[in-house]
Amino acid sequence: MNKSKTVMAILIKNRKETTDQVQKILTGWGCIIKTRLGIHDGVLDNCSDEGLLILELVGTDEQNAELNRKLNLIKGVKSQYMKLELD
């Protein structure tokens, strides 16, 4: 039995300027996002302006590629994904 998982990493620079755009795209593709983990340094007044999102995706290869493409159109955002397979 062949099992695979698709994981996407999204680096976000200038979180204050890009958060709304990123969130809008992720909400639109929410049905293919199984797990979402957000990581950034600091809290309250010391909140970092850069962040990292890790997603577990359950969409088709085409859907995953399109989500990746849309995120990479945002200035200050870089996303990449990979498919991990076990035999």
Domain that holds residue 60: 3-86
Mean pLDDT of the chain, nearest integer? 91
Residue 83's closest CA among 51, 66, 60, 67?
60
Q: Which residue has the higher pLDDT, 39 or 60?
A: 60
Q: List the CATH number of the domain containing 29.
A: 3.30.70.1150
Domains held by the chain: number? 1
Q: What is the pLDDT of residues 15-51, one digit of tens each?
A: 889 989 999 999 999 999 999 999 877 666 777 888 9
Q: What is the pTM of this model?
A: 0.88
Using CA atoms, how far residue 43 sits from 18, 20, 21, 36, in Å, is: 18, 19, 22, 19
Side chain identity, residue 39: I
